[in-house]
A = this chain, B = another copy of it.
Amino acid sequence: MQKRLTVEEYIKGILLQDRIILSRAITLIESQLANDRKLAEKVLEGVLPNTGNAIRIGITGVPGVGKSTFIESFGKFITSQNKKIAVLAIDPTSQRTKGSIMGDKTRMEELAHDSKAYIRPSPSGNTLGGVANKTRETMLLCEAAGFEIIIVETVGVGQSETVVKGMVDFFLLLMLSGAGDELQGIKRGIMEMADAVAITKADGDNNQKANNARMEYVHALHLYPPTQNNWYPPVLTCSALEKTGLSEIWHVIMNFSIQMQENGYWKKNRQEQNLAWMYDYIRHFLESQFFEDQHVKDNIKLIERNILNEQMLPIKGAMALLEKHIQKNVSSSIDI
């Protein structure tokens, strides 16, 4: 077993860009033990003044869109610009399988061996809120360790895109060409969160198809109202295979970053994200505590069944589970 590091050793190691210590600090953050948690918070506080300087990029797309191939090529492009990049992930499926988006060792092999890149698989956890929180904290540690670009990867199904959108500066949606069946996996609403759409696999015979798809999306996005930052999301094509379109995407991100820093949206967005983080954390804590309660655990399945069978009013079910909380607060006037 490794010798336990002190708070100061963690902080110093991270700021000195020591990857072994960075990895150990992330493991500390991912730990469920109360003592580790306390230590992790002190480490985070210690590095706080050195965080916030990276460009945080969220990337999503359905399975099959070529997400890891894209991130590998795009990551290599970024390191070729002499920028240090960290790739993190939020993978809701890994919560079930205890596997990970990036658990497969053959993925992003080239990028994994790049000295300017750092890849960390998705933390495991029971709830998306818990996993997201750990990814946010990991992002801060990576920033303190000198990474200038942080990529947070997620799959385009479920709730995780909204969570990733809430922790990044720029959100990139990868799409396949052909507006037909391939799109069905993408959750409705995701396209509206994108700061840019990139059509992948625009190579060889597929090039024309990708360009057609591009025009379709340009038209579709045109019908949306502009985002609150007054940015019109461009649609691009790229090929991870032929390494085309990558510098164009990079330039879009650079332009976005300059424009948003100038108009003040960059800072405003980060501030709002931080407040939202606090509120998310509080909500997540209260709910976790509630659903871990033995009385709730013992009764929730039966109550759910009664509600599904229309034998019980949802509010009655809620009250039965909230029993302890209500007794404690019989005199309070909560707005329900």
Contact = CB atoms under 8 A, between A and B. Distances in A.
Interface in A293-311: 303-304, 307-308, 310
A308 B270 CA distance: 9
A323 to B, nearest CB: 11
A314 B279 CA distance: 8
Q: Which 8 residue pairs spanning A and B have beta carbons closest together?
A: A277-B314, A278-B314, A281-B318, A188-B192, A288-B334, A220-B223, A130-B335, A184-B225
Interface in A222-265: 223-227
A334 B292 contact: yes
Interface string A174-207: 0000010001111011001100000000000000
Given A44-B315, A316-B45, A274 B223 contact: no
A162 B252 CA distance: 32
A189 B225 CA distance: 10
Contacts of A279: 318
A286 B318 CA distance: 11
Nearest to A183: B225
Secondary structure call for the A interface: helix
B282 A334 contact: no
A210 interface: no
A336 B34 CA distance: 10
Interface stretch (A1-9, A16-24, A73-81, A324-332): A324-332
A96 interface: no
Contacts of A275: 304, 307-308, 314
A113 to B, nearest CB: 33
A281 B315 contact: yes
Contacts of A277: 314-315
A273 to B, nearest CB: 9
A78 to B, nearest CB: 26
A290 B281 contact: no
Contact of A325 (B289, B303, B331): B289
B290 A278 contact: no
B315 A41 contact: yes
With a 10 A CB-CB cut-off, give which of A127, A130, A304, A313 has the most chain B CB atoms.
A313
